A and B are shown apart, each in its own frame.
Chain A
Amino acid sequence: MNLDPEERWRLIDKVARETVEYGTERSTIRSVLAELTVKPLTGIPFALAVLYGFWGFFDAFAGFFTDGFFVPLFDDHWLPWIQEAFPLKGSWLYYILVGDPEAINSFEALGMLTSGFFVAIGVVLPAIVAFYLVITILEDSGYMPRLAVLVDTVLHKIGLHGFAIVPMILSLGCNVPGVASTRTLETKKQRFMMMILLSVFIPCGAQLGVMLSLIPEYFGYIMLYLVTGFFVFGWLLNKLIPGRSPEIITDVPPLRTPTLTNVGRKLWVKVKGFFTNAIPFVLLGVGLVNLLYLGGVISWIANSLEPLFTGWFGIPKETVAPLIAGFLRKDLAVAQLSAIDMSGFQLITSVVIISIYFPCIATFSMIIKEGRKSGGVIKVLSGSLLTLATVVFLWGGLLHLIGILLGVT
């Protein structure tokens, strides 16, 4: 039999009175800190400090391993060795696996065994480890929901609520779990908006790692443009898509000390996933693009799309090759830009285009999978493709216009 809610509460109340005794609670440093992190006056400076610390650590950690260890290892030892040791110089096999025999840095060699390994192990792996180490600590300490409370007001302006910060932050690691976690949002509208905004405007940890290593001087501009895009299109989508955006009531858990075993375990799961899921895709991407080059496909596509690339976006037509690699891995796509000769502003535009033109294949399949639960695949798919095309065309073109107006193209 079923009780009605009122009766249920009445019974529970009696049970609790019979079995629970409330003692006196002392306030501890932890509970005081827990309070301070959600009050706007103290919470916002605290959040900024946390984000700054996050960023500083990510930068220092990834920089230490990439520039201090992997760059010398790959550029001074691995690259020259394999360029000499690999037989069949001049053959197509050499081109696919080793790439340019004259290259002096591992970003520009463009072979599977040179750039492929370097990007995956030397650049992205340290970034992934650094990112998930911090994220895990933030997750386990209970800071995430506090951040959600603080950003609630801002996100309401684009029809979301504070808890949307969780998929956003998860997406900064990898868009795939980010898209999956949109399930905790209440309405189809919110889920649809969030999936699109995430997969378009939030670069993943692997891409961040490569950007940081390759073009640290432009990093801030690119992120600013992407974040602005997130809010501009969020606001637009909120106006255009029918549906509700309800308020959320959430629990803020107490602050806890993360345990070493749990942090270690989560980190291990991510690193293992990276080796089994990501590295094969990076290598595959390098191989595929090289094959397409050899087959003349790339130059054919580049020539046919030239008006769009040079005319509308203001970037060299050669960026078509990285864009193709970007279907598989965004990190690889950004890395491949380094071999193309272009101005600083063009580089910024190219990276922005790579970020927004299409989600990587893994994210895209996740959107399809989740779309099934959020109003039907066809609807979500056509909706996202339409939004995507509009965003790329407008947001990419606008950047070109900004460049022209500033006179920096």
Chain B
Amino acid sequence: MAILLMGHPNVGKSAVFNRLTGANITESNYPGTTVDFTEGYTYIDGKEYKVIDVPGTFSTDPKDEAEKVALDILAEHDDPIVVVVIDSTKIERGLYLAFEIMERGYRTLIALNMWDDAEKHDLRIDVVRLEEILRVPVVPTVAISGKGISTLVEKVPAANRVDIEDLREKVTNL
């Protein structure tokens, strides 16, 4: 079973990856640190998962070589679980990618990373409500310090496929 970490450049996918797998790949504070994918393994409830740190991508419509790598990885795997890593301070555009992935019918899970930055900016996100609306697990994380990672791991098996038709109706009626 494969877990793909996807998200915009510089949202902390590599940091989440290191936390999940105990690996040592390069984390930096600039977009484009990861240009190739890295694989690692993690065990959740005694089950082995392959974890892949996918290069950052803004959407499922590639604009450079690193984004092409990202989409090839997505296409290559048979029914992976996609963890969409989102910069909490830029939640809307993170959700855009999350929507694209959910629309393609992948089992999805959202990590609201850089949660501490959101707190610093006095940005309050109602995680419970977000979960209710999207029907996928949403977990606040601070990957560089490890906060929220254990919850993220617990929720991996609960990653969900979303009925977009339903979601559209529900959101429209909000």
Contacts and interface: CB of A to CB of B under 8 A. Distances in A.
**What is the size category of the interface that chain A forms with chain B?**
35 or more
A265 B144 CA distance: 13
Top 8 A-B pairs, shortest CB-CB distance: A23-B122, A139-B28, A184-B32, A142-B29, A183-B65, A21-B124, A183-B35, A144-B30
Best-buried of B65, B96, B126 by chain A (most CB within 10 Å): B65
Interface in B78-123: 91-92, 95-96, 99-100, 103-104, 117, 121-123
B32 A181 contact: yes
A145 B165 contact: no
A262 to B, nearest CB: 6
Given A17-B174, A140-B28, 18 more contacts: A1-B164, A2-B103, A2-B104, A3-B99, A9-B96, A11-B167, A12-B92, A12-B99, A14-B174, A15-B134, A20-B91, A26-B122, A140-B29, A166-B30, A181-B32, A185-B65, A250-B31, A266-B26
A266 B33 CA distance: 12
A24 interface: yes
A13 B126 CA distance: 15
Contacts of A44: none
A11 B98 CA distance: 12
Contacts of A139: 28-30, 33
B36 interface: yes
Interface residues of B, number: 47
A14 B64 contact: no
Contacts of A13: 92
A25 B122 contact: yes
B92 A11 contact: no
By secondary structure, the A interface counts as helix
Interface in A1-58: 1-3, 7-9, 11-26
20 contacts: A1-B103, A2-B103, A3-B168, A11-B168, A12-B95, A14-B171, A16-B92, A16-B95, A17-B174, A21-B123, A24-B122, A26-B122, A139-B29, A141-B29, A142-B29, A145-B30, A183-B66, A184-B31, A251-B10, A254-B117
Interface in B112-144: 117, 121-127, 129-130, 133-134, 144
Interface of B: 8-10, 24, 26-33, 35-36, 63-66, 69, 91-92, 95-96, 99-100, 103-104, 117, 121-127, 129-130, 133-134, 144, 164-165, 167-168, 171-172, 174
Contacts of B144: 259, 262
B120 to A, nearest CB: 8
Interface of A: 1-3, 7-9, 11-26, 136, 139-142, 144-145, 163, 166, 180-181, 183-186, 191, 250-251, 253-254, 256, 258-259, 262, 265-266, 268-269, 373-374
A7 B168 CA distance: 9
A336 B27 CA distance: 36
B20 to A, nearest CB: 16
Contacts of B117: 254
A3 B96 CA distance: 11
B123 A23 contact: yes
B95 A262 contact: no
Contacts of B26: 266, 269
